Structure 1
C-alpha cells in the first residue's frame, strides 16, 4: 500500500523566504501528517467518505491538496470545491461546478444530475472523489433534502468535507442543524492537530543558511508543533535575519499578528475548555481530550507554544 504523496517529504530549499503562512502548501512541499494521510487513504480506498476537522489555519487545505495530487495521479476523477466560492451559493451552483452540466436549483433534480455524472465518471471500482474545503458554507445553505440524497449516493461518490467544527454543530440557515447528522454519522472523522516532532523539525530547518541555531530554539519555544505558527514565526525570523532586525521586535510584531486568530479559537471553545486553559497557567497539565485533538495542548498536557501562553496571560 503506497504512502500518499508528501508524507515522507524532506525540507526543500526555496528561493526567497521559505515560510509561507498564508497559502496552502502544494503536494510536493507537504510535510508530515503520515498517520492522518494513511487513515484517509485507507478510507478512500474502501469507498468511505470523510469528515476532516481542524481549527482555522491548522492545514486542512494543504491536506486536501495532497489528496488531490495523489488521486489525480492515479487517474481517478477528482473535483475540489470550496464552501467559500460561488459553488456554495446553492445546490445548482454546487452540482454545476462538479459536473459542468446545467442543473436546476431543486434538491432532487440537482441530486439526479450529480448521480448520473458520478455513474459516468466511475473508473472500475473507483468512485469520483469530491474534496470540499470550508464545507461550512455548503451545510449552512443547502436544503436538508440534498444531504439526504448525498447520503444515498455514498456508494457512488467519495466525499471529503473539511471544516473547522463537527458537521452536526454547524448552524444552518434553513433547517435544524441536528437533522444533518445522519449524513455525518456515515463519515469517518479525521482530526488535524499538531504536527509530529519529525515534521516540525523539518520546518524548523527550512531557513537553514539564513537563520541561526537560536532561531530554531525560538521557533520550538513559541510555535511548538503548530503548522501555522511555525511558518508565521519562521517567515518573520527569516526576514529579520536578512534585514538585521532585533529578535524582540520580531516577537512583538508576530504576537500582534496572532491575537485575532487566537481570539477566534478562544471564542469557539466551551466555557469549560476556556477555564481549563486558564488553569494551565498555574502549571496544571491539561487532560481535556478535545483540547489535545485540536492541537491547543501537547500529548503531555502542555500549551502548544509560548505564543498561546502569552496570549492567555495578557489578553484575558
Structure 2
C-alpha cells in the first residue's frame, strides 16, 4: 500500500506510479493544472504526450496532492481520477455512473447526504447527469474530472457521439465542470480523424508532456529504497541509468529497475542492459488490466493519505503566508461569466448600443452577431443584461448544449429549460411558467410556440431578446432528425410573436451556411465582433480586476498590444502566461516579489509557451482556412509563404487575399498578417509541412 514502506525496488518498470513518494518532477505542469483550477473561472486542459511519457502518473499524482497547491477554498473542489479504459466506461450511462461514484466517494459523510440526491436518477442519462452537475454548481461544488486514456472513448463512437461531447462542453462553458483530459494526440486531431463536429475537441488549454529536465532525470535516478539510507542505485548505476534512459521517464524507470535487479541477483550490468533493450523492443503486457484496478485501489488508500496531505497542507499554508506570488486573475479559455469574472469584460459599448437600438426599433430585424472564434461573442451575450435597459429581457440559450438532444422533443424541452434558467439568472430576475409537458411531448414546437405567447401576454411592456448562441448547431439537429421543425418554429416566431426578437450568434455569416438558411433568416442585421480597441486592451492588461498591482513596464504593455493585435483571447492568454512566468521566477528566487515587473523581453520569452498553450485556438483557426471549400489549399499555402518572406501578392492572389482579409487574417492592404502571433504559428506550421 502507498501509505506503507517504500518498496525495495522503487523503480516502476510498467504502468502508473501509484506511490506519490516515488513521483519526480513535473512541477511546472502540476502548477499549471492547479492554476487553471483555482482561477475565478476554471479552464479545462488537454494533457498531450506520447505513450509512456507519464500522463497517467501525472494525473494520479495531481489527484493525490492537489490540496498542497490549491490552498484556498479547498472545500469547493471534488477532484477524481477516472481511467477511461475501465469496463464501466464503455457506454454513456456507464461513464456517468463511474463519474458519480467517484465524486460521491470523495465527499465526506455529512456533505454527501446533501449532495447525493441529484445523482440518484436511474438510469443516469445525459440530462440527469447535466442536471446533477448544475445542482452541484448551485451548492458551490466544482467537479474536476481527470480523465485518463481518452482514446478509449473513441472506440465506441456510437455510444459517445457529438451530443455526448456537446453536453460536456456546455457544462464546461457554464463553469460547472472542469476536465483534465490525457491523450496521445491533441483532441482536435481526433475530431478530424473520427469526424466529430463538437467544439468539445477545442478544449481550453493544451499542455504538452515532454521529457524530464536534466535535474529531474538525475533526481529520478536517485530514488531511495527502504533498506538503505540513501539512493537505491550506486553512483555508477545512476550514471548508467541516465545514459540509457536519457531524460525519458519510462526509460529511466526501466533502466533503474533492471540495474537494481541485476545487483540483487548478482548479475553484471551487461545483463541489465540486455533486459533493458529487450523490454524496449518487446514491451511486456504485465501491466495490462491495471488501469481501472489501480483506480479502485486508490479509492481504498486515499484515506490513508489524508493525514499526510493535511500535514503537508499546513506546511504549505505557512509557506504561503510568506509568499508574495501575484494572483492569477486572467481568464484565457471559457467565456466570461459576470458572476465570477466581474469587471474583466472590457469594451464592446458600440455593440451593446446597437443591439439595444435595433431591439427597440419599430420593426426589429433579426440580429446576427458574428466573428471569429474566441472574439468574445458569448461573453458579450452573458454581459448583455448588465449593459442594456430594463425594457429588454435578454435570454441566452446555448445551442451547443441544446443540440446534444437526440429528439425534437428533447430539443424543445432543453430550449424551454434554458429559457427559464436564463430568466432566473438575470440581474432583474424574471420567473417564467413551465410549459405544458404533455403538449410538449405530443407536438414539441407548436407547444413551445404557445408557451412563448403566454409569456408575452403575461409580461406586457417587455421585449424578449432570445439569444441563440452557436446557432450553426441547429444545422446538425436538422440533419440528425431529418426535420426542419426547429427552423419552422423560428420562422413562425418571427412572423407571429412581435414581442420576441431573435439574435443569432456564431462564427459564420449566413453566406457561409447551407442555402436553406436564407429561407428562414430574412431581414437580418449583421453585427461583427472583432478586436478590442487599443484603449480597451490596455485596460484589460493593466486593470483586469479592481486594485490590481502594476506589474508591467510600459514597453511590455506595448509589446502585448503589438503581438496580439488586441485580440481578446490572445491578450488574456499572453497576460496569463506572463503572470505564470513571474510567479515561477519568484518561487525560484530569480526575482523579488515586491519589485518583479513584466518586461518586453518577458513578452518575447513567453511566445513559444503561448503558441503551445493556445494550440487549439490556432489549429482551429488554421483549419477554418485550409479546409474551406473556397480556398485552394496549395494556393493558400503558397501565398502565405510568400507573405512571410516579405513578397507582395500578385493579381492572381486577389480572390484569396480578399477572403483572408474578411477573416481578419491579413491587413486591408493584403500584404501582411494582422496578428503577429497568428503569423508566428503559421510560420511554424508551414516549416513542419
* CA RMSD, 1 decimal: 2.6
SS at match of 1:168: helix
How far apart in 2 are the matches of 1:125 and 1:29? 34
1:177 matched residue in structure 2: 194
2:170 matched residue in structure 1: 152
Change in Cα spacing, 1:171 to 1:36, as seen in structure 2 (3 Å) is same
Change in Cα spacing, 1:204 to 1:136, as seen in structure 2 (3 Å) is same
Query: 1:118 Cα shift?
Result: 1.5
Query: 1:80 Cα shift?
Result: 2.2
TM-score, normalised via structure 2 length: 0.33
2:136 matched residue in structure 1: 121
Alignment of 1:284-303 (within 5 A): none
Segments of 5+ residues of structure 1 without an aligned counterpart are 1-12, 262-288, 294-316
Alignment of 1:92-241 (within 5 A): 92-100=93-101, 101-104=120-123, 110-122=125-137, 126-141=141-156, 142-154=160-172, 155-170=175-190, 177-180=194-197, 182-206=199-223, 208=230, 211-241=233-263
How far apart in 1 are the matches of 2:48 and 2:27? 16
Query: 1:234 Cα shift?
Result: 0.2
Alignment of 1:43-122 (within 5 A): 43-46=36-39, 47-71=42-66, 74-75=74-75, 76-100=77-101, 101-104=120-123, 110-122=125-137
Select the residue among 221, 230, 243 that pairs with 2:265: 243
**Contact 2:145 2:180 (C-alpha < 8 Å) held by counterparts:** yes
1:39 matched residue in structure 2: 32
Aligned residues: 244
How far apart in 2 are the matches of 1:125 and 1:201? 42
How far apart in 2 are the matches of 1:199 and 1:124? 41
Query: 1:57 Cα shift?
Result: 1.4
SS at match of 2:43: coil
Change in Cα spacing, 1:27 to 1:206, as seen in structure 2 (3 Å) is closer
1:17 matched residue in structure 2: 9
Change in Cα spacing, 1:28 to 1:254, as seen in structure 2 (3 Å) is closer
1:268 matched residue in structure 2: none
Segments of 5+ residues of structure 2 without an aligned counterpart are 69-73, 102-119, 225-229, 284-607, 613-689
How far apart in 2 are the matches of 1:210 and 1:227? 17
Most deviating of 14-23 and 64-73:
64-73
CA-to-aligned-CA distance 1:102-128 (integer Å, 9 cap, x gap)? 554xxxx82222222213334865511
How far apart in 1 are the matches of 2:66 and 2:128? 23
Greater Rg by CA: 2
Change in Cα spacing, 1:62 to 1:209, as seen in structure 2 (3 Å) is closer
**With CA pairs under 8 Å and 6+ residues apart, which has the higher RCO, 1 or 2?**
1
Query: 1:232 Cα shift?
Result: 0.6
CA-to-aligned-CA distance 1:64-96 (integer Å, 9 cap, x gap)? 112212346734212321221123211110011
